[in-house]
Structure 1
């Protein structure tokens, strides 16, 4: 029976069990997860938070992480500025990034979600408002959501992956895990 673990990755934690490449010790999955034989199904940037799935089943890992399977991933993004209908329409139809056009996406403005405080908090600039969007993509390019929001003029300030396929972060606190 395949093992699946849902982990709420805190900000600043690498999506790997070891840190190769930094002279200073950075937090890794091994600081939070002591389950032998499981590996991340995909990645989540160090400066992003939220759902990371880990499994001991290579086929399941590939189904979750490989873009050809088009597993939907939903992100909650706090973006700079008041995003309008035109920017949301651009996100929905796909934007052109330096590595090519993105697939179509689901994008909507949302009320600020009830999330845990981020440590460290985002930078706040009194002269520049911010808002939250929900963005669902079926790809997983490097820093894709951040690049998409920047391409429509709204850089991402905070990014939380909330859902991957049928699995959600609901009820999993930062730094905690739950068997899926």
Structure 2
């Protein structure tokens, strides 16, 4: 946790504990029900696939976390000759909260923007636009926002948590 936690330090569903996944249940049930019950012209494949993609992303992250901890425990390719401490594991146990946030945002956007309901599975111009937006403005903003987090006020309230891990792993970021 940050040395002086600021506002919005905790996720809104933190009080739910291990039951935090319940926040996606209504959307996942609704999208599955709509996909099964509605006829082909009204089905929304993009809305239906949000939940399986989120599950895939969680599994993918868990595989990399497990591999990283295995390699750290093995100790052959470590940069720092220290093992992962239990405090670090506990501190970084909320790695899936950003996946829950992106899932909630995907469901909200797909329900509020009607043109986002029946998206095609593949469009080359969309892929190129995504690559250009990510390599241009997104990386630029990420760099400057990360530099801003190193300002003393923001660092002590939000970013010190990130730098308190000595043995880094994929979820340390």
How does the TM-score come out when normalised to structure 2? Answer: 0.23
Between Structure 1 and Structure 2, which shows a larger proportion of strand residues? Answer: 1
Q: TM-score, normalised by structure 1?
A: 0.23
Give the structure with higher Rg (CA): 2
Higher helix share: 2
Greater RCO between the two (CA within 8 Å, min separation 6)?
Answer: 2
